[in-house]
Amino acid sequence: MDTAVLDLIRRSRRVLAICHVSPDGDAIGSLLGLGWALKAMDKEVTLACADPVPVFYRYLPGQGEIVRRPEGMFDLVISLDCSDKERLGDAYREEYHALPLLNIDHHVTNQYFGTANLVDPEAASTAEIVFLLLDELGLPIDPPMAQCLLTGIVTDTRGFRTVSSTPRVLAIANRLMAAGASLPEIVGRTLDRRPLAMIRLWGQALPGAQLRGKILWAEITEAMRAEAGLTTVDDGGLVNFLLTAEEAEVAVVFSEKNGGQEVEVSFRARPGWDVAQVALSLGGGGHMLASGATVRGKLAEVREGVLALLEESLAAQERARRER
């Protein structure tokens, strides 16, 4: 592992760690796992996320300490699970620009924006990279760290179902369970749990799902969300569910937000395709098989524009495959 990374951590006293806006299980899990570890190293630690911790991650030890807007002085900022600096949102303030920034991430679209970058696109989750970092620092893993880090791994692999679920991932999960993490608790709290309102929202969105070639897409309007009684923009895993359709190679969910001025776009693909590049070209990012972007514009306009881009990209990928 890069000694510059280890030195940055060893030399720091007051650390600010930040995960991405609209946090998922890997964002919160890697943030808290690292937070517990830094405390065990006797550092002063502030943990931040620009958006609130979703209710279903509130079982994680230490989550109550995560702040929206950090205050105070720091000598190191650590970014977790962010492919670019904008993903830190306004938890990353103007005055931090002079501070060293350690970028820990696993997105293939990572922009290497840190002073030091611990980026591994082969890793299934940022939590896994944090685990390897703690191993390298020789820090023993205690039960709170283990529970947080395993949450990041389990949520980003959807319970070890993704192609990123390598033997290394399972070996790390094994060590985290041996250190005190509970796999059934994590699965029960995250993957196997959603509000009834979310199920009703799916009920509204699913009849409108349409197949366009190999792309199955659906949309969630603000009116649907209001009707279901939901306030958060996430789709509760609808895009993953759509990709279980036999006819689909790619699934997309368009979620209207910000009073109809913006659309959150979520892409999923079966192995063999790449949806990271389309997301990147829209100003977002992600992985080959799971990516996303926030696009300005009205729902119908954005949908038609994005579907056209996506069709073009898939056709180009197919041509490239034939020529190989």
Burial class for 6, CB neighbours closer than 10 Å (0-12, 13-18, 19+): middle
Which of the ranges 35-43, 70-78, 140-148, 291-299 carries the binding residues for ligand AMP, by CB under 6 A? 291-299
Binding residue (CB under 6 A) for ligand AMP from 104, 148, 284, 306: 284
- CA distances (Å), origin 233, targets 87, 185, 263: 16, 25, 10
Here's the x/- map for ligand AMP, 146-175, by CB under 6 A: it reads as: ------------------------------
263 near ligand AMP (CB under 6 A): no
Residue 273 beta carbon to ligand AMP: minimum distance, rounded to whole angstroms: 14
Q: Which is nearer to ligand AMP, 87 or 225 (CB)?
A: 87
266 near ligand AMP (CB under 6 A): yes
Number of H helices and E strands in the chain, helices first, is 11, 11
Residue 107 beta carbon to ligand AMP: minimum distance, rounded to whole angstroms: 6
Q: Which is nearer to Mn ion, 24 or 235 (CB)?
A: 24
Q: Which is nearer to ligand AMP, 7 or 122 (CB)?
A: 122
**Interacting partner of 27 out of Mn ion, ligand AMP, none (Cβ under 5 to 8 A depending on kind):** Mn ion
- CA distances (Å), origin 209, targets 96, 176, 239, 243, 252: 44, 39, 11, 12, 10
129 near ligand AMP (CB under 6 A): no
Residues 65, 46: Cα–Cα separation, whole Å: 8
Residue 67 has what DSSP assignment? B
Binding residue (CB under 6 A) for ligand AMP from 134, 286, 289, 306: 286
Here's the x/- map for Mn ion, 76-95, by CB under 5 A: it reads as: -----x--------------
H/E stretch holding 176 reads: helix 167-178
24 near Mn ion (CB under 5 A): yes
Residues 124, 168: Cα–Cα separation, whole Å: 10
Residues 295, 292: Cα–Cα separation, whole Å: 10
30 near ligand AMP (CB under 6 A): no
Of 281, 288, 283, 247, which is closest to residue 267 (Cα–Cα)?
288
Q: Which residues pair with 67 in a beta bridge?
A: 48
Residue 324 beta carbon to ligand AMP: minimum distance, rounded to whole angstroms: 27
Residue 313 beta carbon to ligand AMP: minimum distance, rounded to whole angstroms: 16
Q: Which is nearer to ligand AMP, 70 or 286 (CB)?
A: 286
Q: Are 218 and 242 in contact (CB under 8 A)?
A: yes
Residues 201, 206: Cα–Cα separation, whole Å: 9
Residue 212 has what DSSP assignment? E
**Interacting partner of 292 out of ligand AMP, Mn ion, none (Cβ under 5 to 8 A depending on kind):** ligand AMP
**Interacting partner of 287 out of ligand AMP, Mn ion, none (Cβ under 5 to 8 A depending on kind):** ligand AMP
Residues 319, 315: Cα–Cα separation, whole Å: 6
Binding residue (CB under 6 A) for ligand AMP from 30, 46, 83, 110: 83
The count of residues interacting with ligand AMP (CB under 6 A) is: 14
Q: Which is nearer to ligand AMP, 74 or 273 (CB)?
A: 273
What is the Cβ-side half-sphere exposure of residue 193, based on CA atoms within 13 angstroms?
14
Residue 91 beta carbon to ligand AMP: minimum distance, rounded to whole angstroms: 15
Strand duo 285-286 + 290-296: pairing: antiparallel
Q: Which residues bind ligand AMP (CB under 6 A)?
A: 83, 87, 107, 239, 266, 284-287, 290-294
